[in-house]
Structures are given as structure tokens and as C-alpha cells.
Amino acid sequence: MIPVRGYAERKVAVLGLGRSGLTTARALAAGDAIPICWDDGEVARAAAQAEGFAIADLTRDNVWDGIGALITSPGIPHLYPAPHPAIEQAWRHDAVVDNDIGLFFRSFATPDWDEFERPPRVVCVTGSNGKSTTTALIAHILQAAGMSVQMGGNIGRGVLDLDPGRDGGVVVLELSSYQTELARALSPDIAVFTNLSPDHLDRHGGMGGYFAAKRRLFAEGGPERSIIGVDEVEGRYLVQQLREEAATGDPVIRVSSGQRLTGDDWSVFARKGHLAEWRKGRQVASFDLRDIAGLPGAHNHQNACAAFAVGRALGLGPRQIEGGMRSYPGLRHRCQVIATIDGVRYVNDSKATNADAAAQALLAFDNIHWIAGGVAKAGGIEALLPLMDRVSSAYLIGEAAQNFAGSLGACPHRISSTLDQAVAQAHAAAKSGDTVLLAPACASFDQFASFEARGEAFEALVAKLQARTT
């Protein structure tokens, strides 16, 4: 745990007592602060009270005497569509509002670092898609190279639950727009921007607010090295904002999947399945990504380019990085090849909860038996219709099944209703060389508690099929 610094003997309010909130209360107490906790849910309040934390309704005016700061969990709105009442109270009582990311950057560096030969480094990854895979891939590559690595943030452990910095260690954090938007301190050594597509727009007041939340990590965080995906206009804009020299591009590394990047600056791009690194107008490294099992598809090639750039920025050689990528097992529930049965691949992409994410999975494979459905998002699957030539048959489950069937037109499909039936039907129809793909393009909450639970159910069903064939 990282004890929070700067609040010793002071009252600090904690709003939201889920994973990050309860860890924040513990880290504040470890730094001798006095946490005052609240959650709108009775069960969460009871869990915090059982650990000995003081509970007070922070939406009430009379509890704020002596409280100088409010630490809020990422999922709680502080501006749009409307601030939580406890945040309104914090403003009214002149208490600063922060989150666990801000506390982490205030508290991670300590006087002990003066004794280290190499100070710890912090790598932060943000963007709309690919954050989790890029973060996990970076951590895997660094570990494979023998470095001391911790991974946290939106993936793995909460930031304040990490261990204090180690000599020569690296912390790799996945950060969402919810986290970067509010943090009062941001100081990554290396920051990665993967891409941007519409998401969380109600929370950020539109696309401009969403991009502004991501941009804070770079504009206010001031990283030594910024690694920017330039396949969208926002990334290209950010590059121009951060460049110090037009010729070299320092301190920026541009990355792309699908286009060759020209110029004399530092760039890493994937084209036709090959990763290439260019510096000062010449190629300095290249290798084939297409046979790396843990990174299927062009979207993963962009993730690979970003991770490669981080490894190079931290001093690793190209072959070290390539070796780490080849041993990467893939991130669970994210375009993860979980089995091959009689020549048929089974791919778990349960995290594909919207059409944009499902499109990336559909582009990664051919001859697809596609399992889709659940609680539909706005727009349904209309945007996926141009990709139906890749689909041999669709198997539709959950609430969205009937509506999706109406959208698919001439694409072969059947309403399977449940995941069990869909897997059995797809297994019966698939031939060697085909792919059975779970990429629901939907939330899971009609039949499963989470996308993880849905992916785990798919894994269990495939494991039963595999057991029958051995």
C-alpha cells in the first residue's frame, strides 16, 4: 500500500466505497489522515464501518466541519450530467475535490528514492479502445525483460494498493477519462494515447469534454515522453501540441496501425501486419506481428506499436520487445483465443460491449460464427453490416436477439436465446479453419452480472467441448 502524504491528522472525506474508495480510505489512514466515509449503498457503508472507518452522510451540510478535502471514486459524476450532492457540499465548504490518481501522484515519490540508483518510473496509458491490452502488454514485455513491474489503475490493483516504488521499478497504469479528468496531480514519466472514439459523452458534456479529459494527462502531466496514436484527428492535434522540435518530434513518438508514417521524427507503425520503427528518416527495427497469437487483428497491432514504443523509451532493444510480445498470452475477455478444437478457433471477446469494439474483433478473423447479443447499446449493430461478409452465421442471444435479427437481413442467423445454445449451435456448424467468436456488441446485464462473468461462462462451455474431443 502507498500511504497518502500531506493529510496527516486532517479529516478527509471519501465518497464511494467500492474497490478504489475503500483502498483510498485505508491508504489515507496509513498516512495518518482521518477518513470520513460515505457511499449511497448500505452494503458498502457497512463494509467500511466493519473495518473501523467513520461513516457520515456527506450530502448533509452539518458533517463538513474540519473536512478539507473530498476524494471521490471515478464512477461518481462531479460535473455532467450533474454533480453528486456530496461534491456540491464539498464546493460549498471550500474543500478540494480529488481522486485516488491525484493522491497517488502526490504520494508515490518519497525521500527513500534519494538512495536508489534508478528512480522508479510511471507509465500511464489512456484512450478509448485498447487501453487494457496495451497496459497488460507493456507490463508483460517489461517483466519478460527482467524488470520489476507493477500494474494497476483501471486494470489489476487500485493505484493506492500498489507497493511503494522500488529501485529501478516501473509502474504501468491504465487510466480512464474519469480518472484523468479530476486528478489534481498528474506526473507520468511516459504517457500513451491510443485512440479516441465516442464514449461516456454524457459524463463529459460531449466529445470535446471527453478529449479534454484525456488531454490533461499530457498537457498538465508533462511526461518526458508522449506516445501518441495518430489514426484519429485528435491524436494528430495532440502531437502538434506536444512537439518541441518540428524536425525530431521530441518528446513525442507517433504510432499508427494501417499507415506508413513519414518524416524525420521517431515513429512506430504497423502496415500489412509488420511493425516498423523509424528514427531520423531511416528504419531501425522491423518484425512480423501476424503470427503472434496473443495479438490478433489490426487493432492489436496498434496496441503492439504503442507497447513497443514504451519499451524503446525505457531502453529495451527491439529483439527483447519482440520476444516479450511473442510470449504474451493475451488479455482475458479481449479477443482472446482460448482453444482450438478440430481446427476451429474459439475466441472470447466478451469485453466487446459496443459495435465499435465488436468491429475490431470481426476484422481480425474470417469465416466467423458470431455470437452476439445482450442489452443493446445506442445504434445497435447497424454499423457492423458492411462486415457481414466475414460472418458465416450469427447466433443471437439475450434481449437484443430479435432486434439484431431484424438488422442482419441476408446474413445467415438464428436466435439462440442463451449462450449455452449459441455455443452448441456454433460448434456443430463450424468447420476446420473457422472461428467461433463471442463479440456481443452489447452489455451483459440481462443474463450475466458483468462482461467478465459472460466471458467466464463462454470459457467453461468451450472447455466442456474440448473435454469431449480428447
Does 226 carry a binding-site annotation?
Answer: no
Residue 128 annotated as binding site: yes
Integer Cα distance of 81 and 313 in angstroms: 39
Nearest alpha carbon to residue 369 among 411, 428, 430: 430
133 is in an annotated binding site: yes
Q: Is 177 annotated as a binding residue?
A: no
Cell of 441: 456488441
Q: Which residues pair with 124 in a beta bridge?
A: 173, 191
**65 contact partners, CB below 8 Å, separation of at least 6:** none
Rounded Cα distance, 144 and 126, in Å: 23
**Number of other residues whose CB lies within 10 A of the CB of residue 3:** 18
Answer yes or no: are the C-beta atoms of 310 and 224 closer than 8 Å.
no
Residue 354 and residue 337 in contact, taking contact as beta carbons nearer than 8 Å: no
Q: Any binding-site annotation on 11?
A: no
Q: What is the largest CA-CA distance in the chain?
A: 69
Backbone angles phi, psi at 352, to 5 degrees: -75, 80
Per the CB < 8 A criterion, the answer to whether 397 and 372 are in contact is yes
Looking at 200-295, list the stretches that DSSP marks H as alpha helix, in order from N- to C-terminal side: 201-204, 207-219, 233-242
Please give the single-letter amino acid code of residue 398: G
129 annotated to a ligand binding site:
yes
Give the list of residues 6+ apart from residue 291 with CB closer than 8 angstroms, or none: none
In this structure, the number of other CB atoms found within 10 A of the CB of residue 244 comes to 9
The cell for 429 is 456448424
23 assigned binding-site residue: no
CA–CA dist 29, 1 (Å, integer): 11
Q: Which three cell numbers mark 29? A: 489512514
Cβ contact 40:75 at 8 Å: no
Cite the annotated binding site for ATP by residue number: 127-133
Cite the annotated binding site by residue number: 127-133
